[in-house]
Amino acid sequence: MTGHEHSSADDEALVRAAQQGNLGAFEELVARHRDKIYARAFSMMRNEEEALDLSQEAWVKAWQRLAQFQRESSFGTWMTRIVINLCLDQLRKQKRYRTESLEAIDEESGGVERQMPVLTVNPTERLERAELRQRIEIALDQLSYEHRTVLVLHEFEEMEYKEIARVMECSIGTVMSRLFYARRKLAVILSDLKKDEAT
Amino acid sequence: MMDGDVQIKLQSFVDGELPEGEARAMANLMAQDREAAALVAELKYTRQALSGHEKGVRLPESREFFWSKIQREIERTAPVAPVPRPVSWLVRVRRILTPVAAVAAVAIAGFIATRPASAGSGVETSLSDPGAFTYRDFASGTTLVWLSYPAEDTLADGE
């Protein structure tokens, strides 16, 4: 049976069938959640090829560990956690080979973001959705992986500070500082403050 | 310029991570301090801007192509079942004969153990002395014992 033949079943029924070895049911689950899983990998990695590889790897891992899925959360949430863990592992590996820049060290110490002036108008108010998307993408690209990851886990995955601290293996204070920096930088890019300042 | 710790606390307030007492203190600060209120507003704008951002992202491969890669990887990493080897006729015969022989051996042993003793006469060997033989004639009530080695006296005489 192919995945298309399972299109009317709900996630729970598909998971049950897949746990009994039904690959067609699993294909339908992949089809339903693949965009969300890829989007999360892309938000964290900022690289299309890596995001594709890691989301594919997440699906293979999910199939191998399907027996461990106890339905404590939704299947989508369980899958998202798998891809997040794979991305974190990959980012940690990459960090080992990357030299910390002076800017990154300054960001880490949490000093820069506190000096930036607070924006008094809603920077997103006059932006079209497409432009807003583009600026968010630019901002995410410009953030270091530590700041971006904290932002993604908090804003997209809706994790609490302590949970982020646990998965990122750092203190809650560091999480708060990184999140603050990431948001302030994002606000600046959204409002295009730098361009205004230059003119 | 606002104190750094206050800025972080205002962020925690926006994220709902402050205990009740501290949250009340931050709410009061916002009411009195324009800079604090502006920072909270900015933090809320960024949250709002990010909400739903990932929903617009699409996987840049077709369903079939993406699945074909996953399926290939699942099949490649699946544990391989051992292929059964051809069994020779000798092994097959042995497989049949072994249990048959075992059953036969048990049956024979059982038959010997449960066989009634002969009512007539018979020759026995003693388990404690394999060199001693006993002849019993139950009809006449006679028992005759003989040894397959010289008596101790004879040996003693010879020495």
The CA R_g of chain B, rounded to the nearest whole Å, is 50
- Residues A43-87 pLDDT 10s: 999 999 999 999 999 999 999 999 999 888 999 999 999 999 999
Residue of A nearest to B4 (CA): A114
Residues B135/B121, Cβ–Cβ less than 8 Å? yes
Residues A33/A76, Cβ–Cβ less than 8 Å? yes
Both tokens of A169, joined, read 């293996």
Contact B66 A56 (CB under 8 A): yes
B132 close to A (CB below 8 A): no
B62 close to A (CB below 8 A): no
Q: Looking at residue A155, what is its pLDDT?
A: 95
Q: Looking at residue A40, what is its pLDDT?
A: 97
Task: Give exposure, B45-82, as e/b (b: 16+ Cβ within 10 Å).
Answer: bbeebbeebbeebebebeeeebbeebbebeeeeeeeee
Contacts of B74 in chain A (CB under 8 A): 23, 60, 63-64
The ipTM estimated for the assembled molecules is 0.81
Instruction: Name which of A121, A120, A109 is nearest A146 in CA terms.
Output: A109
Q: Which residues contact A144 (CB under 8 A, 6 or more apart)?
A: A104, A107
**Touching A: B residues 66-95, CB under 8 Å:** 66-67, 69-71, 73-74, 77
CA distance A151 to A145: 10
CA distance B5 to chain A (A): 10
Q: Looking at residue A94, what is its pLDDT?
A: 86
Q: Looking at residue B121, what is its pLDDT?
A: 57
Residues A61/A82, Cβ–Cβ less than 8 Å? yes
Contact B46 A183 (CB under 8 A): yes
Per-residue pLDDT of chain B (159 residues; tens, 9 = 90+): 788 899 999 999 999 999 999 999 999 999 999 999 999 999 998 999 999 899 889 999 999 999 999 999 999 988 765 555 666 777 778 888 888 888 888 888 877 777 665 555 555 655 566 677 777 777 777 777 767 766 555 544 443
Contact A124 B49 (CB under 8 A): yes
CA distance B26 to A145: 30
Q: Which domains does chain A have, with CATH numbers?
A: 3-96 (1.10.1740.10), 102-198 (1.10.10.10)
Contact B4 A56 (CB under 8 A): no
Left, alpha or beta for A138 (phi > 0: left; psi -120 to 50: alpha)?
alpha
Contact A183 B73 (CB under 8 A): no
Q: Which residues contact A45 (CB under 8 A, 6 or more apart)?
A: A51, A54, A87, A90, A91
DSSP state of B125: E
Instruction: Name which of B50, B70, B72 is nearest B61 in CA terms.
Output: B70
CA distance B98 to chain A (A): 39
CA distance B37 to B57: 33
Q: Looking at residue A198, what is its pLDDT?
A: 47
Residues of chain A scoring pLDDT < 70? 1-4, 96-117, 119-127, 192-199
CA distance B47 to B13: 13
Mutation target for B interface from A118, A156, A161: give the one with most B CBs within 10 A: A118
Both tokens of B118, joined, read 């002969």
Q: Looking at residue B99, what is its pLDDT?
A: 82
